[in-house]
Chains A and B, each alone.
Chain A
Amino acid sequence: MKNVFILTIISLVAGLCLSGVYIGTKDQIEISKKAAFNNSLKVVLPFMKDKYEDVPPVKYDMEEVPIYPVVENGVLQGAALQVIGKNGYAGNIKVLVGVDKNQTITGIQILEHKETPGLGTKSADEAWWGQFKGKSLDKFKFKVKKDGGDVDAITAATITSRSVTDAVQKGLVVYREYAGSFNKMGVSHE
């Protein structure tokens, strides 16, 4: 009995210490998360001056796509969209796609992936995703070269490249729809 008592005491003390550390780091974790996201936003939206509009996600094909539009004087300048690339080598890939008002890509950031360490991370390199910059739906085939498109796949990571490419294309399509409804109704915060 005494043994169980000691274990309980140790566990309680441990629990108390941890809740202390948790409270101490909770805010910082949030700040770090937000800072990381804001940095990604800045990379994909080089034209963003200070802020984006806070709007609900757009529905597209059974999915909810979070969107971060940039509006100046009531005119839509572009947006960042958080899209999911399906069929990655190891699950889905979360991609942040930046689109400007001409419906061309301004930047790409990989937010989350479970690909092979080292390989998947190459997709986060500008050396690779730079090829998407300035491309739009009408002039660029969003498919890897192996599938008859215009995208150079990462060596030995065709599946990852395919998934990211799909996500980027989806981002452009969703943006086109959003821009269409924006021009009709203006910015909606609902």
Chain B
Amino acid sequence: MSGDIFINVIYWLVINNVVLMQFLGICPYLGVSKRTETASGMGMAVIFVMALANAITWLIDSFFLQKFNLVYLRTIVFILIIAALVQFVEIFLKKSMPGLYKSLGIYLPLITTNCAILGAAILSVQQKYDFLTGIIYATATGAGFLLAIFMFASVRERLERAAMPEMFKGIPIALITASILSMAFMGFAGLVKI
């Protein structure tokens, strides 16, 4: 596994992109992609929380849930951990890193219901990644989210001024843009072999 880390990162980042190929985190993807600044802020927040959440859920899963045969409680335990973690990160950032809080803070409450976070946490334990691989997986997946949302927002900024039929304004044209982006990302498929 360790030798293939680079290949895996490429795979998680673009080939199996979390938004465009796996459809995770669509709500924030469509919701906060009108401006590139907000999009990149959200993307950063997602990378940060995803890596942290993955580390904690992995520890709980292997030292508690699997040990006591409680794997069926995974969903409920993971989502509670993520909700609590987001609250905690918010308080912590506010007190000790006001600068970072200013740039990421407003996105944090939205992250609890970002299904990419929970999805990545569950997929990572389902795939039986070890602790380190899990964190790399989460970081790469989060970076994939940032990449996708940043490109998307850059296109949307320009689309606002474009002329189009009334009924396509807003979300419909955004989805069609996402479709074309997703098509472009499919081109990465042959890049590496897993």
Direct A–B touching in the complex (beta carbon < 8 Å)?
yes
Instruction: Tally B residues with Cβ within 8 Å of A.
Output: 9
A14, CB-defined interface residue at 8 Å: yes
A130, CB-defined interface residue at 8 Å: no
* Interface secondary structure of B, over-half rule: helix
**How distant is the Cα of A159 from the Cα of B190 in the complex, in angstroms?**
9
Contact A91 B194 (CB under 8 A): yes
Contact A22 B194 (CB under 8 A): no
B167 to chain A, nearest CB (A): 29
Contact A18 B76 (CB under 8 A): yes
Beta-carbon contacts under 8 Å, A134-190 to B: 159
Q: Which residues of chain A are within 8 angstroms of B72 by Cβ–Cβ distance?
A: 18-19, 22
A15, CB-defined interface residue at 8 Å: yes
Q: Among the listed B73, B189, B190, B194, which residue makes an inter-chain contact with A15, where contact means beta carbons less than 8 Å apart?
A: B73
Q: Which residues of chain B are within 8 angstroms of A14 by Cβ–Cβ distance?
A: 76
B10 to chain A, nearest CB (A): 14
Q: Among the listed B73, B76, B189, which residue makes an inter-chain contact with A159, where contact means beta carbons less than 8 Å apart?
A: B189
B139, CB-defined interface residue at 8 Å: no
Contact B73 A18 (CB under 8 A): yes
**How distant is the Cα of A15 from the Cα of B16 in the complex, in angstroms?**
34
Q: Which residues of chain B are within 8 angstroms of A89 by Cβ–Cβ distance?
A: 189
Residue of A nearest to B72 (CB): A22
Q: Which of A11, A88, A90 has the most CB of B within 10 A?
A: A90
Q: Which residues of chain A are within 8 angstroms of B189 by Cβ–Cβ distance?
A: 89, 159
Q: Which residues of chain A are within 8 angstroms of B190 by Cβ–Cβ distance?
A: 159
**How distant is the Cα of A88 from the Cα of B15 in the complex, in angstroms?**
12
Contact A90 B16 (CB under 8 A): yes
Residue of B nearest to A92 (CB): B194
Given contacts A18-B73, A87-B194, A88-B194, 11 further A-B contacts (CB under 8 A): A14-B76, A15-B73, A15-B76, A18-B72, A19-B72, A87-B193, A90-B16, A90-B194, A92-B194, A159-B189, A159-B190
Could you list 19 A-B pairs, sorted by A, with CB under 8 Å? Answer: A11-B76, A11-B80, A14-B76, A15-B73, A15-B76, A18-B72, A18-B73, A19-B72, A22-B72, A87-B193, A87-B194, A88-B194, A89-B189, A90-B16, A90-B194, A91-B194, A92-B194, A159-B189, A159-B190
Residues on A lying within 8 angstroms of B by beta carbon are 11, 14-15, 18-19, 22, 87-92, 159
Residues on B lying within 8 angstroms of A by beta carbon are 16, 72-73, 76, 80, 189-190, 193-194
